[in-house]
Chain A
Amino acid sequence: QVQLVESGGSLVKPGGSLRLSCAASGFTFSDYYMTWIRQAPGKGLEWVSYISGRAATPYYADSVKGRFTISRDNSKKLMFLQMDSLRADDTAVYYCARGGNWPTYHFDYWGQGTLVTVSS
């Protein structure tokens, strides 16, 4: 069965960096776009970034462009989110999800989320 497991969330100071990981299993990883979505405490969902199956093309929300970098290792079925120049408003639960673009435009599987807290 499809499983997504995020890791790497922690408390970090403003201006700091953090790298999140998403481990996938149960499907042909390279066939799918993979997406990061975040949810600030008490707030709604926000699309952050996604990357094509062959890692050819990443896309970012304006709010993180230039600070976050998405990548993937298809041989290890891993996706990453390198987060630099972190700000307080980056504090959120970060979910990885399968899909977002062809062939699956919706997010059909989600991880349990990992909490990132940016605070001094």
Chain B
Amino acid sequence: QSALTQPASVSGSPGQSITISCTGSNSDIGGYDYVSWYQQYPGKAPKVMIYDVSNRPSGVSNRFSGSKSGNTASLTISGLQAEDEADYYCSSYSSTNTRVFGGGTKLTVL
């Protein structure tokens, strides 16, 4: 049950696009299309932004998109806005029928 690998921080200016990567293994990201992404503000519960690699829940802005290639999943936020500044976590289903999270990425909007 090793954690997925995410960059500790990313930053971008308003209007720009950023991508957060999430790297796992054949036993999790590479083996299943059950990658999800969560946004968390300080002191608040996480909120799902992307599920099953690239699906967006109702109410989530279409500026958020997800993809996967091999053992790496990615979250892209386009048209960056100040309100996007938060922590982002990826998660994947694992072959041991358990779940694993990434270490989290702090997004700073410059």
Contacts and interface: CB of A to CB of B under 8 A. Distances in A.
**Do A and B make up one complex?**
yes
Interface string B28-72: 000000101010100001111001100001000000000000000
B98 to A, nearest CB: 5
**Chain A interface, DSSP helix/strand/loop, else mixed:** strand
A44 B103 contact: yes
B99 A108 contact: no
Given A95-B45, A108-B51, A44 B102 contact: yes
A35 B104 contact: no
B59 to A, nearest CB: 11
A107 B36 CA distance: 8
A116 to B, nearest CB: 16
Given A106-B51, A108-B57, A46 B93 contact: no
Contacts of A37: 101
B102 A112 contact: no
A50 B104 contact: no
30 contacts: A37-B101, A44-B3, A44-B87, A44-B102, A44-B104, A45-B38, A45-B89, A45-B104, A47-B91, A47-B98, A47-B100, A47-B101, A50-B99, A59-B97, A60-B98, A61-B98, A95-B45, A100-B99, A101-B97, A105-B34, A105-B51, A105-B52, A106-B51, A106-B52, A106-B91, A108-B48, A108-B51, A108-B57, A110-B47, A113-B45
Considering the complex of A and B, which 6 residue pairs feature the smallest CB-CB distances, nearest first? Answer: A106-B51, A106-B36, A44-B104, A105-B34, A47-B99, A110-B45
Interface of B: 1, 3, 34, 36, 38, 40, 45-48, 51-52, 57, 87, 89, 91, 93, 97-104
Interface of A: 35, 37, 44-47, 50, 59-62, 95, 100-101, 105-108, 110-113
